Structure 1
Amino acid sequence: MPIELLMPALSPTMEEGTLAKWLVKEGDTVSAGDLLAEIETDKATMEFEAVDEGILGKILVEEGTEGVKVNTPIALIGEEGEDFSAPAGDASKKDKDDEGDGSSDAASGGGADAGAPAKGYGRGDTEASESSSGPAPAASKNADGARIFASPLARRIAADKGLDLSQIKGSGPRGRIVKADVEGASAAPKAETSAAKTEAPKAAAASGGGAMPTGPSAEQVLKMYEGRDYEEVKLNGMRKTVAARLTEAKQTIPHFYLRRDIQLDALLKFRSQLNKQLEGRGVKLSVNDFVIKACALALQQVPDANAVWAGDRIIKLTPSDVAVAVAVDGGLFTPVLKDSDTKSLSALSSEMKDLAGRARDGKLQPHEYVGGSFAISNLGMMGIENFDAVINPPHGAILAVGAGVKKPVVGDDGELTVATVMSTTLSVDHRVIDGALGAELLAAIKENLENPMVMLA
């Protein structure tokens, strides 16, 4: 029977994408590793590759189609001579339950993040045969409202046996529940199942679920400007994602803000000395490199602030994984410099330049911009003296960095002098970090930047 290739989730945040280009045509024979299509996600264009062989019998979604939802069938693949005129789910077939272990999977998203369950048709993602009668039940959710990843056949067997999928540990790729996991499982008492269902709304309420107010519709806005000259700018996937996530952030995260001025004269002098010594290696440190290192060390000095919000709990990270906002055409990326506390300034500088360059070229992989507990947004290089940044969930905080400006200051001896002062604002998620803890974190960042040699100790 033909097998459906589904629109894959090529990043943890992807809900839909654009099928930019088919790299094969109907009737072509494909083998493992062959590139099937190019798919534009909210962040980049990525390749969708085959992991098994077969005939691409029918293309269901034409190239150039936008807004294709994850898990939407995009093509049919099978063996030579098969009937591809009907959708795979409607084709006549005999019982092949024993083959439903994912061994005949046809394709996977080659660029999918290894840490996130792939939602497209991939190895272990959709089982090759789902011949039990009736359609597979809808995807289940756990007590936190998060989707439980299980194959259609596993969901159907679980429904027939009265199993609660949230109580079953998946053995498939990325923890996906497959046929073997549910065949030997026994149904849990109904009281547990109903309890799980009643907990889901509570968890959703605790995490800020529910309808949020929205602004005027597109039609309402267009009416306001009738008779005026204007140009409509079509939103790309990245801009849609930025709009959705930042709206979510401001509506659901209880922000508060802490501000401190940081004197940079010692840092600028030390940076100049280091850059002279590093000329032969082709390394030139920026102030931003020092800011990254200072924040990474501060997260180690104040470990309770190295944390993220996870719906109904706080997750404290051990390493300092620092994200840095990078402006690109049509939006922004926040690539993550992992283990920043253990890396030298020159290593951080080289890695940041590489990540920023590939971000602007749209070549970052999901694992390079997902994660982190803390972010930095630096507009000082653009002349902005101070601003408030929006937290990128699930991060616990973000540091807004302004320009270094010559200002009159009162020295330790009480005399008036001139210093290079940089304004910083720490935006904090009050669910994760309280005021005193946030103040302690910002004080540690200030101390590190004003005494830069200590960061090398």
Structure 2
Amino acid sequence: MAFSCVRRLWLCATLRVSHAGLQGSLSMSRKPSPAARLLLASHGLQAEALQPTGRFGVLTKEDVLKAIALKPGSSLPSRSPAISQPPVPASGPSVPESLPHTQSPLPRKKPVIAPVYPQKAGKAMYTDEKISAEKRSIACRLGQSKNSIPHEYVSALCQVDSVLSLAAQLGKDGVQVSIGDFIIKAAALSLKTVGFAESGGVDVAVTMATPDGIVSPVISRVGSRGLLDIATVTRELADRARQGKIPPKECEGGTFCVSLLDSLAVSYCTSIVSVPHPLVLSVGSTSSRILPAESAGHEGGGINDDWEAESRMVHCKLLNVTLSCDATRMDAERAGQFLKNFRYNLEQPLRLLL
């Protein structure tokens, strides 16, 4: 017991001596800090001639600045008394008058100016608009349809040079028929081809914008109507839709829905299938492309030589259409067959005049 107490006292004394020797060696090291080392090098001072005040004998930046503030040739006292400095003005630190002209003042930091953003005094930067009952109903119905109905999407590119040429020729004769009227007629005939609807019994809903949202008035028996009759009904519905005079009764039913987005310069779009329309055809705007004559649907052989490539390239107008369908009513194979027939009917517009 006595031996363990003596051993413990001897270890404590050894550690105390080692700690004192370590502090003594550190206090005599005069190792400068990085900032102090930079000031010593820039002003040509020696670390051995200065008295460190930092922890463990580290020469700090304040020690070097005190030495710089003294006159050249004067030795530092072992313990310098505290020097009272006058308050620094707002413009920045000034150089004491006792310093020679050869010593430059410390660099001044540029003031940081906070950016000023324009604000309207007393006015909000936005306007809250209330959602109408029609828009709220449309959003709820589309959300329920997207979550409960399995969707299939099929897209195709249709060349519409012949349709545009025929519509322009009819316009010169006073018959105003748009490309949308050709699309509605071609869609009705294509539904009959795939066996989705009976001949003449296709009711097509056309999406139109109103001040309160989107409505889809129905054009009945499109298959048995002519292009001029379809054009007249479509223009009359569009005028009433802009005035908000489409009653909900005219939007009921419909075998098929066509969403015409060509006026909005939309090249591609996929619509959400909503009850009661199991099929929705989204039609974008036309785009110009340069294609080989064979792939563009023109007569003639393929491109065999490089020098013939330029002479067989043609400028075409293409239309991107996307069919969104309820997978329980029409699968992807039948949807592809529908687009194939739709493309053929649209690229041969004379068939739509029969």
Give TM class, smaller chain: 0.5 to 0.7
Alpha-carbon displacement from aligned partner over 1:405-448 (angstroms, at most 9, x marks no partner): 11022222333322000111111110110111111111111111
CA contact (8 A) 2:216 2:251 kept: yes
Query: In the alignment, does 2:345 pair up with 1:448?
Result: yes
Query: In the alignment, does 2:259 pair up with 1:367?
Result: no
Q: What's the CA shift for 1:233? A: 2.0
Residues in 2 aligned to 1:393 and 1:409: alpha-carbon distance in whole angstroms: 39
Identity %: 31
Amino acid at match of 2:205: A
Q: What's the CA shift for 1:229? A: 5.6
Q: What's the CA shift for 1:237? A: 1.2
1:301–1:317 distance in 2 versus 1, CA, 3 Å = closer
- Aligned twin of 2:333: 436
CA contact (8 A) 1:317 1:373 kept: no
Residues in 2 aligned to 1:367 and 1:328: alpha-carbon distance in whole angstroms: 16
CA contact (8 A) 2:200 2:221 kept: no
Classify the secondary structure of the residue corresponding to 1:303.
coil
Residues in 1 aligned to 2:199 and 2:252: alpha-carbon distance in whole angstroms: 14
Q: What's the CA shift for 1:392? A: 2.4
RMSD: 1.8
- Aligned twin of 1:284: 176
Q: What's the CA shift for 1:318? A: 7.0
Amino acid at match of 1:362: G
Query: In the alignment, does 2:192 pair up with 1:300?
Result: yes
Amino acid at match of 2:170: L
Q: What's the CA shift for 1:230? A: 4.5
User: Mapping of 1:114-263 within 5 angstroms?
Assistant: 230-263=126-159
1:290–1:318 distance in 2 versus 1, CA, 3 Å = closer
- Aligned twin of 1:424: 321
Query: In the alignment, does 2:264 pair up with 1:382?
Result: yes
TM-score by length of 2: 0.58
Pick one of 202, 222, 226 that aligns with 1:320: 202
Residues in 1 aligned to 2:199 and 2:138: alpha-carbon distance in whole angstroms: 25
Q: Which has the higher helix share?
A: 2
CA contact (8 A) 1:375 1:398 kept: yes
Residues in 1 aligned to 2:126 and 2:170: alpha-carbon distance in whole angstroms: 51
Which has the higher relative contact order, 1 or 2, with Cα contacts under 8 A spaced 6 or more apart? 2
Q: What's the CA shift for 1:377? A: 0.8
CA contact (8 A) 1:323 1:336 kept: yes
Pick one of 209, 219, 222 that aligns with 1:340: 222
Q: After the TM superposition, list the runs of 4 or more consecutive aligned residues in structure 1 that deviate by more than 4 angstroms.
A: none
Amino acid at match of 1:292: I
Pick one of 166, 169, 181 that aligns with 1:273: 169
Residues in 2 aligned to 1:343 and 1:405: alpha-carbon distance in whole angstroms: 29
1:357–1:441 distance in 2 versus 1, CA, 3 Å = same
Alpha-carbon displacement from aligned partner over 1:58-116 (angstroms, at most 9, x marks no partner): xxxxxxxxxxxxxxxxxxxxxxxxxxxxxxxxxxxxxxxxxxxxxxxxxxxxxxxxxxx
Is there any run of 5+ residues in structure 2 with no aligned partner, and where?
A: 1-123, 295-300, 303-311
Residues in 2 aligned to 1:340 and 1:253: alpha-carbon distance in whole angstroms: 26
- Aligned twin of 1:95: none
Amino acid at match of 1:288: G
Q: What's the CA shift for 1:344? A: 0.8
Q: Which has the higher strand share?
A: 1
Residues in 1 aligned to 2:264 and 2:131: alpha-carbon distance in whole angstroms: 25
CA contact (8 A) 2:152 2:331 kept: no
How many aligned residue pairs are there?
A: 216
Is there any run of 5+ residues in structure 1 with no aligned partner, and where?
A: 1-227, 307-315
CA contact (8 A) 2:203 2:254 kept: yes
Residues in 1 aligned to 2:291 and 2:211: alpha-carbon distance in whole angstroms: 39
Residues in 2 aligned to 1:410 and 1:399: alpha-carbon distance in whole angstroms: 28
User: Mapping of 1:77-92 within 5 angstroms?
Assistant: none
Residues in 1 aligned to 2:214 and 2:247: alpha-carbon distance in whole angstroms: 14
Higher Rg of the two aligned structures: 2
